[in-house]
Amino acid sequence: MTRKNMNDLFFKLEIPEPDYNLAIGSGNHGEQTGKMLIEIEKVILKENPDPVIVYADTNSTFAGALAGSKLHVKLAHVEAGLRSFNKRMPKEINRVLTDHVSDILFCPTQTSVENLKNEGIVKGVYLVSDVMFDALLHFSKISDMKNNVLERLNIKPNEYYLDKIHRAESMDNYERHKNMLTALSKMDDIVVFLFMQGQEK
């Protein structure tokens, strides 16, 4: 699935078109983050938002956080405090650095609150719901109504698992990838796979 097709799919799920499309595209982490930082800074200076809100742990998350903090705009991070404790993962670097420059930190779990506390972050921390789970519940209903996905695949609700395999640690390691697929093949239930290739941004 190309990036354009993915964008088209998301906007069909009742998400409005963005006011700004930075059109950065793929690239190395430093190149991509730098380009986004330049463009996001322009938008912040033009719009003068209060606050800047960034989500999750992508390169765009960190670029937005860095731009906002450099311009001394109040910064809110949604999905704060999540940790894999694996600094070889680019997303781990993004989420840690974003949390440490944020003024408001919206945590999805008590564990994420504790992770922040262990790093000395206690001010402006709020335990809220898991927005990814909320989005899944909301948009899965819309998607199924529009596309009849389960009916076309001849799958009944609550009788399948969806496995999204996309992290470099899984996709780029043959043995790990093989072990995952072998384990899933032994399940009695139906498993629907969503494979995503390419660098995570």
Q: What DSSP letter does each residue of 100-158 carry, written as one string?
A: HH-SEEEESSHHHHHHHHHTT--TTEEE---HHHHHHHHHHHHHHHHH-HHHHHT--TT
Of 118, 116, 135, which Cα lies nearest the Cα of 127? 116
Q: What whole-number percentage of the chain has pLDDT above 90?
A: 51
- Enumerate domains of the chain plus CATH numbers: 16-131 (3.40.50.2000), 148-195 (no CATH)
Of 3, 9, 1, 2, which Cα lies nearest the Cα of 142? 9
* Active-site pick, 72, 100, 138, 166: 166
Is there a catalytic annotation at residue 166?
Answer: yes
More reliable by pLDDT, 119 or 159 = 119
Of 132, 70, 61, which Cα lies nearest the Cα of 97? 61
- Residue 176 has a pLDDT of 83
- Residue 198 has a pLDDT of 46
Is 156:136 a contact under the CB 8 Å cutoff? no
- The answer on pLDDT for 78 being more than 80 is yes
Segment 173-200, tens digit of pLDDT = 788 878 888 888 887 777 766 555 444 4
- Mean residue pLDDT of the chain comes to 85
Q: Which residues of 45-56 are buried (b: 16+ CB within 10 A; e: fewer)?
A: eeeeeeebebbb
Does the model's pTM come out above 0.95? no
